[in-house]
Amino acid sequence: MKNIVIIGDSGHAKVIVDIVDAHPDMRVYAKLDDKYDSQFIEDGIIKAPISNIESLFNQDATLKVILGIGMNAIREKIIMTYDLSSEVFVSLIHPSAVVSPSARLGVGTVVMPNVTINADSLIGDHVILNTGCVVEHDCVVGNFVHISPLAVITGGVHVGEGSHIGAGASVIPGVQIGKWSTVGAGATVITTIGDRETAVGNPARVIKREG
Ligand SMILES: CC(C)(COP(=O)(O)OP(=O)(O)OC[C@H]1O[C@@H](n2cnc3c(N)ncnc32)[C@H](O)[C@@H]1OP(=O)(O)O)[C@@H](O)C(=O)NCCC(=O)NCCS
């Protein structure tokens, strides 16, 4: 049995719990969140501030960790703050997801129900592929990206580190999306989006550029 520690205990973590529960060889062992001041047990699950992670590993070095936080920048901050080796992270794939045998997934990535990842796509670390999204063939998805429910990135699209593709958005083949950018819900992206830009609409237009 793999004991899973979820970092984060809000909405996104609830969906992660369902994915863990869909695997008979895994169980949720602890949920760590800085909304908790001290450690306690609720319904058989340890709840504690994130800084308790070290003491949990001292008790059980076989624990596996997943980041249950939807905000890309906060997932990155947790990785920068806590000195956890990449081997402690588990990737979670819901049994209903379809993942090509030639696709590659990094560590700590979550693949939610009804996701499709097609041939030769490369998915980075601590990525969220949210419910029902499609990553077509030959895509490259950077670390800490979140592709929201029902979004479609078509063949050969590159999504840079930390970017967020909104719910139901579409990106046409071969388009590049920069780092830490945002594509609004329902957008249709037909041209390159730069780093730290926000684009919305059909066709998508940049409405914000951050330095
Ligand atoms: C794109 C987005 C991040 C912009 O948020 P924001 O920076 O707070 O921007 P604002 O709400 O101030 O909107 C700025 C303008 O863009 C428009 N706009 C915002 N989101 C839009 C969208 N998805 N499609 C079309 N227009 C949009 C607003 O109407 C507004 O237009 P105006 O200046 O003419 O009034 C947000 O609206 C969005 O779509 N987020 C995706 C959420 C999502 O899919 N989450 C999934 C979680 S699982």
Q: Domain boundaries in the chain?
A: 2-88, 92-209
Give the pLDDT of residue 211. 56
Q: Which atom of ligand 1 is nearest to the CA of 169?
A: 44
| Spacing, Cα 169 to ligand 1 middle (Å) | 12
Task: Tell which CATH classification among 3.40.50.20, 1.10.357.10, 3.40.50.150, 3.40.50.720 matches the domain 2-88.
Answer: 3.40.50.20
Q: In what order do the strands lie in the sheet with 116-117?
A: 98-99, 116-117, 134-135, 152-153, 170-171, 188-189
Q: Are the folds of 2-88 and 92-209 the same?
A: no
Alpha helix stretches (DSSP H) within the chain: 11-21, 53-59, 72-81
Helical (H) or strand (E) element with 209: strand 205-209
CA atoms of 4 and 161, how far apart (whole Å)? 25
Given a cut of 70, whether residue 100 has pLDDT beyond it is yes
Average pLDDT over residues 74-80: 97
Whose CA is closest to atom 33 on ligand 1? 207
Beta carbons of 72 and 162 less than 8 angstroms apart: yes
CA atoms of 159 and 123, how far apart (whole Å)? 10
| Spacing, Cα 187 to ligand 1 middle (Å) | 10
pLDDT band at 140 (very low <50, low <70, confident <90, very high): very high
pLDDT band at 210 (very low <50, low <70, confident <90, very high): confident
**Would you please indicate which residues are annotated as catalytic (active-site) residues?**
137
Task: Calculate what percentage of the chain has a pLDDT beyond 90.
Answer: 99
- What residues are paired with 189 via a beta bridge? 171
The per-residue pLDDT for range 25-40, each reduced to its tens digit, is 999 999 999 999 999 9
CATH superfamily of 92-209: Hexapeptide repeat proteins (2.160.10.10)
Residue with tokens 């973590």: 13
Task: State whether the beta carbon of 184 lies less than 6 angstroms from ligand 1.
Answer: yes
Task: State whether the beta carbon of 132 lies less than 6 angstroms from ligand 1.
Answer: no
Whose CA is closest to atom 31 on ligand 1? 207
Q: Within a 10 A sphere around the Cβ of 210, how many other Cβ atoms?
A: 10
Give the pLDDT of residue 83. 86
Q: Within a 10 A sphere around the Cβ of 5, how many other Cβ atoms?
A: 25
Residues 6+ apart with CB under 8 A from 186: 166, 167, 168, 169, 202
